[in-house]
Structure 1
Amino acid sequence: MKQPNRTFTHLALAAAVLTSSGTALAQASHFDALANAPFEKDYPTADSTRLLRDELIFQRAAQAYLWALPAINIWAMKEGSEKVFGAGYNVLPVWKERIKASTLVTTPNSDVVYAMGYLDLKKDGPLVVEAPAGVQGILDDFFQRPLVGPTIDGRTWVGDVGLAGPDKGKGGTYVLLPPDYKGEPPKGSVPKGAFIYRSRTYNVFLFWRTFFSDPKDLSKPNAQIAATRIYPLGQKAAAKPMQFPDGNAKPADLLFPRDIRYFEMMSRFIDSEYVDPADLDMRGFLHTIGIEKGKPFSPSPEMRTLLDRAAQTAFKMSKVVMTDMINREPGSKYYPDRQWINVFAGENTSFQSSQTFTNLEQRSGFFTSAYSASPGMVMNMVNAGAKYPVTFRDKDGNFLDGGQSYKLHLPPKIPAKNFWSATVYDGTTASGLDNGQSHPSLNQMDKPVQNADGSTDLYFGPTAPAGKDKNWLRTVPGKGYFVIFRLYSPEQAFFDQTWKPDDMEKLR
């Protein structure tokens, strides 16, 4: 009997799984073929063996892709950053004029000054981070889990640095320990008053944000970041001098791949990392597809084709999760009558809204479109932290269309003690929408024109309505997009919903 072609078998699978137009028969025929794969005298035939083996590999590859999204998202950022700006604990790229759409990275915020660094506790050992005053910072491991810090007055500090961290924005010293570090650091090596944080991975993501009141004068937030010092524990005098390259000077591609390159990147990540016993089952999935720590990843041409299709399928699945399945989760919408989604509905950085399971839909949906998590981002804290309502749809439930024009009405007294902003993002990559404007966002400091009652109308579309340029964000015909409405230090009116934004309304 002629052998079936593996590639076309799985192209058929991808087409069946991703179809959403009611072609139940096509799906059933594929799934029936799997369920009814013939066995003879209790054993699979050669054709059944090939069909089911390839299906197993495809499924494990797709699930491994989704499982690893937090890690590969940030690993891609590390590789992309180091390619452009160089590597080392002393290299801290800063987007000195605010991050622009030319830097490709998931859901950046153009309304603060960013600094993003990548630390290697395997290569350099424990590191000391002197965080400057005024930052709102995060220390995450490379599965984007906040590092666990000290317990002070009954509270265990996790991940946050600066305004939402134990130094409370006054600046502080943090000692970062790798996952296999035993016991406590030697006496006398830890700077006085330092906070000790432990990581579950060798690699650590350092993420600073600083604020400004005048978009035309960013000297203060840049000076704050430039006060950062990072060095190996006990080696401050011999440390490499800090470097603060300008992230906008040479735009970097920090996006994770959507094809076979994802698994190639995953192999490099696995080789570099600590083996966490909690990950052994998922590492078994990786073994099935040819990824194993300490061994080269060298799939055959047929396997490469299969894994490439699995990666493309899994990426599209992650988008379905974000735009459809999360909508169906209890508590996923901020308001039952509106389209705004709460990507941290469980108020938990581990996406464990229940003590009985991890919400993999929320986890996959978030990390296919964003990076970094900390308690300050997810917990409901009045006048502290931040909230990130996001919408993919207009008032009528249709996906936002770059060729259409919309209005977003914001009632008076927007409840953000620090500031608010609205940003448009590419519907596929989740990077800042490359719309030709200096930044793909509008914020409170831009002083958009208010209505007579104190409310604000923002406009989105390919052209600005007459006289509305100051309140307008350009969109791109032929492209979908989504909007994040950020509130830094949200006030009580946001939480009790006495204030809430309208939906994006299509202009007729």
Structure 2
Amino acid sequence: MVTSTNIPSGYNTPIPSTILTPDRVETRIGRLEFSDGFPSGETARKVFDHLDFLRAVEVFLQCVPAASMEGLRTGFASVGCDSAQTMVIADRLLDSNPLFLTGNTDTVYAIAMLDLGRDGPTVVQIPPGCGPGTVNDAWFRFVTDMGAPGPDRGAGGDYLLVPPGYKGEIPDGYHVAHSTSYTNLLALRGFLVDGKTDAATQMFETGVKIYPLSAADERPEMTFISISGAAVNTIHANDQTFYAEVADVIRREPIEMIDPETRGLLASIGIHKDHPFNPDERMLATLTDAAAVGNATARAICFQTRDPRAYYYPDRSWKTGFVGGDYRWLDGDGRSGRNMDARTLFFYQATLNTPAMALEMVGVGSQYAISERDATGAFLQGGSSYQLTLPPGIPAKDFWSLIAYDPQTRSELQTGQPLPSRSSVNNRNELTYNDDGSIDLLFGPEPPSEHRGNWIQTVAGKSWYAILRLYGPLKPWFDKTWIPNDIERR
């Protein structure tokens, strides 16, 4: 029965209380005030500031891949890698001087930044014997693999990378890949031979050719610039300049590279393809705060993850970089949508996106396990000594490695050792194995009294974390019959 007592003043019928707004509401951003549903001027100001902040934090988290690619582009350009015919090469391996997200110390990198907007369709010739190679677009999305996991299957071949919107003829004889962006990262890796880089370096310097399809008859000469030992930064900003990096990407790339929702999110904080990015004083303060919160959020996702699927084993601290097992971070075959936190966990600390890193490919590609904690759950500290025992039968057809990283830079830990790592290929003559085939890797600021060849140096007062890599991972890794121990304090 309807009575006058449940009809609010000013209405003719009962009105559910759930749809009404009180005159005062206490929230996490303070008191919000209304006059019969009309927000006060102060409330409107407060919620709009908060909306700008929320969107700016979301831009930080969603756009880490784009900013990371921009960091690589500008970093390599700073050492002269500013054309498709110029490659940077770690001809003496990637040591800890270059700031490079979780790079490895045990393969020879050869990297080029391609500009398909400038050069049009671009030919990449790779020689036989290339290790895993990958091309990613300006948003770090997968374009194609090359080398062993690619369509040439390690036999070498000619690839043609086609820019977005290209309407011209595509000739036969190429492995063709279409990119959604103009900027593309090409990263090739070569393996050591007898513990040396010479063969891989020669393979790249004599066998890799990159040129515009339009210049096939007069191919420019290749140039290789060593980044071994170079002090160069390739990592995106973690402060408000992050947004300027993203704005540069949006201005340079075709508008169709990202979906309308992402374009709208960016435009809501002033990042627009057709307009300069010029935040006013209020917005700059908001972006400064949002970058700090976005950075903290990314670090929490990486190093304090709340997703139990990130862990390989229920009783170990080792984690995967590909939560959900999909290189696109699509949960449940896509029915759960894109796992945004899983994507952030990967790209905040790593580069190169390829199915070969996420799929079960026995004997092919590579697999990774990450740990920033000891067996008690405490973060790893550089002033303490630790031991990691890898059980016998390490399931790697090609080789294994363990590298120490700096949680600040997510790059190799800078110590007295240029290569803060141990591997079965690079250190094979130094490593001491136990009688049962297991190996004890040792960590600490000072060398141990024995088995010094198993030692990775750390720095007192500096935290660190570890990544175990298996190249050519074997079945015991995938079926979890081989399980690495946790890192233990000595």
TM-score (norm 1): 0.87
CA–CA distance in structure 1, aligned partners of residues 55 and 32 of structure 2 = 19
CA–CA distance in structure 2, aligned partners of residues 329 and 288 of structure 1 = 34
Shift of 1:386: 0.7
Alignment of 1:356-395 (within 5 A): 356=335, 357-395=337-375
Shift of 1:108: 0.4
User: SS of the counterpart of 1:244?
Assistant: strand
8 Å contact 1:106–1:370 — kept in the other structure? yes
Candidates 38, 60, 63, aligned match of 1:65: 60
**237 and 31 in structure 1: CA distance in 2 versus 1, 3 angstrom threshold:** farther
The aligned residue for residue 447 of structure 2 is: 464
Candidates 303, 318, 333, aligned match of 1:340: 318
User: SS of the counterpart of 1:204?
Assistant: strand
CA–CA distance in structure 1, aligned partners of residues 414 and 260 of structure 2 = 40
User: SS of the counterpart of 2:288?
Assistant: helix
CA–CA distance in structure 2, aligned partners of residues 400 and 31 of structure 1 = 41
**What amino acid is aligned across from residue 210 of structure 2 in structure 1?**
I
Candidates 137, 155, 167, aligned match of 2:152: 167
**What amino acid is aligned across from residue 203 of structure 2 in structure 1?**
Q
Alignment of 1:226-375 (within 5 A): 226=205, 227-248=207-228, 250-276=230-256, 278-325=258-305, 327-330=306-309, 332-354=310-332, 355-356=334-335, 357-375=337-355
The aligned residue for residue 155 of structure 1 is: none
The aligned residue for residue 40 of structure 2 is: 45
Answering whether residue 193 of structure 2 is matched by residue 213 of structure 1, we say yes
8 Å contact 1:383–1:490 — kept in the other structure? yes
Candidates 415, 425, 444, aligned match of 2:424: 444
Report the more deviating stretch, 33-42 or 303-312: 33-42
User: SS of the counterpart of 2:289?
Assistant: helix
Shift of 1:301: 2.3
Answering whether residue 189 of structure 2 is matched by residue 177 of structure 1, we say no
**What amino acid is aligned across from residue 455 of structure 2 in structure 1?**
W
CA–CA distance in structure 1, aligned partners of residues 323 and 42 of structure 2 = 46
Deviation by residue 1:291-312 (Cα, 9 ceiling, x = unmatched): 1002111111232122012112
**What amino acid is aligned across from residue 171 of structure 1 in structure 2?**
G
CA–CA distance in structure 2, aligned partners of residues 484 and 33 of structure 1 = 39
Unaligned runs of 5+ in 2: 1-24
**What amino acid is aligned across from residue 360 of structure 2 in structure 1?**
N
8 Å contact 1:162–1:168 — kept in the other structure? yes
The aligned residue for residue 121 of structure 2 is: 126
Shift of 1:43: 2.3
User: SS of the counterpart of 1:224?
Assistant: helix
**What amino acid is aligned across from residue 92 of structure 2 in structure 1?**
E
Alignment of 1:373-452 (within 5 A): 373-445=353-425, 446-447=427-428, 448-452=431-435
CA–CA distance in structure 2, aligned partners of residues 405 and 196 of structure 1 = 51
Shift of 1:497: 1.8
Deviation by residue 1:99-147 (Cα, 9 ceiling, x = unmatched): 1111001100011001111111111111011012222200111211111
The aligned residue for residue 140 of structure 2 is: 144
Unaligned runs of 5+ in 1: 1-29, 148-158
Answering whether residue 456 of structure 2 is matched by residue 473 of structure 1, we say yes
CA–CA distance in structure 2, aligned partners of residues 456 and 249 of structure 1 = 29
Deviation by residue 1:11-62 (Cα, 9 ceiling, x = unmatched): xxxxxxxxxxxxxxxxxxx982537411234322222122111111111001
The aligned residue for residue 4 of structure 2 is: none
Deviation by residue 1:431-489 (Cα, 9 ceiling, x = unmatched): 11111202011100202111111110001111122113210111112222110000000
The aligned residue for residue 84 of structure 2 is: 89
CA–CA distance in structure 2, aligned partners of residues 101 and 33 of structure 1 = 43
CA–CA distance in structure 1, aligned partners of residues 28 and 316 of structure 2 = 42
**What amino acid is aligned across from residue 499 of structure 1 in structure 2?**
W
Please give the root-mean-square deviation of Cα atoms over the aligned residues, in Å: 1.6
**What amino acid is aligned across from residue 138 of structure 1 in structure 2?**
T
**199 and 405 in structure 1: CA distance in 2 versus 1, 3 angstrom threshold:** same
**What amino acid is aligned across from residue 337 of structure 1 in structure 2?**
D
Shift of 1:277: 7.0
User: SS of the counterpart of 2:86?
Assistant: coil
8 Å contact 2:393–2:437 — kept in the other structure? yes
The aligned residue for residue 10 of structure 1 is: none
Report the more deviating stretch, 381-390 or 238-247: 238-247
Shift of 1:65: 0.7
**What amino acid is aligned across from residue 387 of structure 1 in structure 2?**
Q
User: SS of the counterpart of 2:331?
Assistant: coil
User: SS of the counterpart of 2:113?
Assistant: strand
Answering whether residue 72 of structure 2 is matched by residue 77 of structure 1, we say yes
8 Å contact 1:347–1:380 — kept in the other structure? no
8 Å contact 2:99–2:235 — kept in the other structure? yes
CA–CA distance in structure 2, aligned partners of residues 444 and 460 of structure 1 = 17
Percent sequence identity is 34
User: SS of the counterpart of 1:79?
Assistant: helix
8 Å contact 1:427–1:479 — kept in the other structure? no
CA–CA distance in structure 2, aligned partners of residues 277 and 375 of structure 1 = 20
Report the more deviating stretch, 40-49 or 240-249: 40-49
CA–CA distance in structure 1, aligned partners of residues 223 and 403 of structure 2 = 29
The aligned residue for residue 13 of structure 1 is: none
8 Å contact 1:420–1:486 — kept in the other structure? yes
Shift of 1:246: 0.7
**What amino acid is aligned across from residue 467 of structure 1 in structure 2?**
E
CA–CA distance in structure 2, aligned partners of residues 67 and 118 of structure 1 = 22
**What amino acid is aligned across from residue 225 of structure 1 in structure 2?**
F
Answering whether residue 173 of structure 2 is matched by residue 193 of structure 1, we say yes
8 Å contact 2:81–2:88 — kept in the other structure? no
Answering whether residue 109 of structure 2 is matched by residue 114 of structure 1, we say yes
CA–CA distance in structure 2, aligned partners of residues 145 and 386 of structure 1 = 18
Report the more deviating stretch, 458-467 or 56-65: 458-467
Deviation by residue 1:191-228 (Cα, 9 ceiling, x = unmatched): x531000111121110011001333x311010111111
CA–CA distance in structure 2, aligned partners of residues 309 and 264 of structure 1 = 15
CA–CA distance in structure 1, aligned partners of residues 240 and 338 of structure 2 = 27
User: SS of the counterpart of 1:408?
Assistant: strand
